[in-house]
Amino acid sequence: MANAKMKIKKGDTVVVTTGTSKGAKGEVLKVDLQKSRVLVQGVNLRKKHKKPTQQAAGGIESIEVPIHVSNVALADPKSGEATRVGYKTLKDGKKVRFAKKSGETVE
């Protein structure tokens, strides 16, 4: 199966549109093109039981779990609401992403 191009990139601020974390905002930490998933900071948290080691104490940790890219939307740079992403070419020939709600370029 060919990898589909994702319009969400590492470092983008996104809004979760569905699921238990609906409405939460966070920064994309990692993008997995093969599985079409993104890791968002502070979103989709799960508890992980860790055994103690010589370097670290054990206990229960909260970790972020990847979420499917269809369940997140880019946050509009102006309003912070969820928006779709489009592409346009500037006069100097550079291809950029833009928020369809406000028309602002995203970088």
Q: How many residues does the chain have?
A: 107
How many structural domains compose the chain? 1
The CATH number of whichever domain residue 38 belongs to comes to 2.30.30.30
On whether the pTM is more than 0.75, the answer is: yes
Token output for 26: 């966070």
- Residue 28's domain comprises 13-78
Token output for 18: 């569905």
Per-residue confidence band for 69, with pLDDT thresholds at 50, 70 and 90: very high
Is residue 101 situated within a structural domain? Answer: no
Q: Cα separation of 70 and 89, whole Å?
A: 25
Is residue 28 situated within a structural domain? Answer: yes
pLDDT tens profile 4-47: 788 999 999 999 999 988 999 999 999 999 999 999 999 999 99
pLDDT tens profile 36-53: 999 999 999 999 999 999
